[in-house]
Amino acid sequence: MHVFANPTRFLALARPLTLWFMVAGVILITLGSAYGLLYAPADRLMGDSVRILYIHVPAVWLAMGGWTGIAVASIVQIAWRHPLAAVAARAMAVPGALFTAMGLITGSIWARPTWGTWWVWDGRITSVLVLFFLYLAYIALANASGEKGGVSRVTAIFGIVGAINIPIINRSVVWWNSLHQKASITVSGSSIDAAFLWPLAINVIGFSLLFGAIVLMRMRGILAETKVEARLKRMAAE
């Protein structure tokens, strides 16, 4: 776990990975979206509006994945005091919030022709909205913590506690009577036709790689900012 605790060693790996993730992500998103939007058939019930799933599903997936990453990094920060864990958690917050907002917006656009309304206080939708506010609160705490190279212990604890909402989002369509459709992909298999599933899978992987590239870029930026500030302090002390 501590192999890449050294920022220099981490940066040596992060620099090429950022480019590889970015290029691979853009290529996969382009391929998946082009096939899904232009060649995949329309759904027999929802028609062409179903095509928004190629953006909506990856966005919500990464909204939950982003906070799960924050929680894991926060546990590592508190339990093992890993020097880069706090940096990773902070780096995931903003892209996580952006993908959550994207999921809410695309979900509303999809709901209009499907349910006849832009918004309902459905269990799944409401819990994702709560996740968005959790992201905003986390970002505010991180910025107020004064920990330029990461986040404070209080912020890390908030990241762990906030993870309670992730299983609520996942199981909301099972626990409550929901307008939102049940889970189409589970550990036991998928109920989605292959014509929709393959471009969706390609986009999920593509957006995940893009998310990873953004996180690596933000981590590199945070480390660079910390290095510059440390150098300025040394110069001021001389």
Q: Model confidence over 43-93: pLDDT tens digits?
A: 777 778 888 999 999 999 999 999 999 999 999 999 988 879 999 999 999
Q: Would you state the pLDDT for residue 65?
A: 97
Q: Would you state the pLDDT for residue 24?
A: 98
Q: Would you state the pLDDT for residue 189?
A: 59
Residue 40 pLDDT grade (very low, low, confident, very high; cuts 50, 70, 90) = confident
Q: Model confidence over 147-167: pLDDT tens digits?
A: 666 788 999 999 999 999 999
In 3-state terms, what secondary structure has residue 227? Answer: helix
Residue 196 pLDDT grade (very low, low, confident, very high; cuts 50, 70, 90) = confident
Residue 6: pLDDT over 80 = no
Q: What is the DSSP string of 93-107?
A: HHHHHHHHHHHHHHH
Q: Would you state the pLDDT for residue 2?
A: 57
Is the torsion defined by CA of 162, 167, 173, 174 positive or negative?
Answer: negative
Q: Model confidence over 197-234: pLDDT tens digits?
A: 889 999 999 999 999 999 999 999 999 888 766 565 66
Q: Model confidence over 105-116: pLDDT tens digits?
A: 999 999 888 888
Answer for the pair 28, 205: CB distance below 8 angstroms, yes or no.
yes
Angle between helices 7-34 and 53-80 (to 10 degrees): 160
**What average pLDDT score do residues 124-142 get?**
96
